[in-house]
Amino acid sequence: MGKTQRHFQIVQTLRSRKRVTAQQLAETLEVSVRTVYRDIQQLLLSGVPINGEPGTGYWLEAGFDFPPLMFTEEELEALVIGMRLTQQCTDKHLSEAATTLLAKVEHVLPKRLVETLNSSALDVPYPLLNKDVDNIITLLRRAIARKQRVEFAYADEKGQSSERRVRPLELSFWGKVWTLTSWCELRDDFRNFRLDRIDNLELTGQYFLEEPDKSLEAYYRVLQAEGHCKE
């Protein structure tokens, strides 16, 4: 658990109880008491109104809310709709992260704003993602972050299959399908691939250094110059 997440958890714990000792916080967070003392001090310096002292316990002043969460109603609605789209359009891991984030946001909002969000006229009522590509998205996100080549079999619109080795650059969602923008080493050029036509995707374990003429920025320069994208 990182420091920011610990700080959030400390405040949430203090909000839910009348008084909590440093030892209780240390056991909950699985850190040392010394770390809790240091975190409490940093929260105090950042303006969080924590009362108490070592040995007697800590508590929050009534009515405290995180300043960063004092959004307008439209900002909160945009955030929630964005998280709901993430739940419905991305892989399992990002969907679960969006669910956790929504729970954290709703937990610290005033009741009035929670009711406003729950009655929003904007909703995402069903999954937009083809679940067959769930694992593919997960692997490609990992490969893009690590700059790792991938291999897969790809079927074009005529059903003809070819083996590809590519440098993955970007994932894009088009409302019904996801596509991968990449540098294709078979074609020695940029190519876009529909994820629902990819089969037997594998991370090769071979990493690549970004080259100016094979980068995502170079792809967009080519796209702008040619006025179309290659598939």
Whether 45 maps to a domain, the answer reads yes
pLDDT surpassing 70 at residue 100: yes
Provide CB contacts within 8 A for 227, sequence distance 6+: none
User: Looking at residue 45, which CATH number applies to its domain?
Assistant: 1.10.10.10
In a domain, 123, yes or no: no
Q: Which of 84, 118, 152 is the last residue of a domain?
A: 118
Whole-structure pTM value: 0.63
Going by C-alpha positions, the residue among 56, 135, 37 that lies closest to residue 90 is: 135
Give the three-state DSSP class for 184: strand
125 lies in some domain = no
For position 227, what pLDDT does the model report?
66
Bigger pLDDT: 53 vs 222: 222
* Residue 162: per-residue pLDDT: 95
Q: Is residue 66 part of a domain?
A: no
Tens of pLDDT, residues 108-167 = 676 777 776 777 777 776 676 677 788 999 999 999 999 999 999 999 988 899 999 999
Same domain as 184, residue 158: yes
| Confidence category of residue 9, pLDDT binned at 50, 70, 90 | confident
Q: Does one domain contain both 42 and 90?
A: no
Domain count, the chain: 3
Residue 24 sits in the same domain as residue 94? no
What is the span of the domain harbouring residue 204?
131-226
Q: Both 214 and 142 in a single domain?
A: yes
Half-sphere exposure of 166 (CA within 13 A, CB side): 27
**pLDDT in the model for residue 230:** 47
**CATH number for the domain harbouring residue 175:** 2.30.30.520
Return the bridge partners of 150, or none.
166, 203
In a domain, residue 149? The reply is yes
Q: Are residues 152 and 201 in the same domain?
A: yes
Residues 155 and 201 in one domain: yes
Contacts of 66 (CB under 8 A, 6+ apart): 11, 108
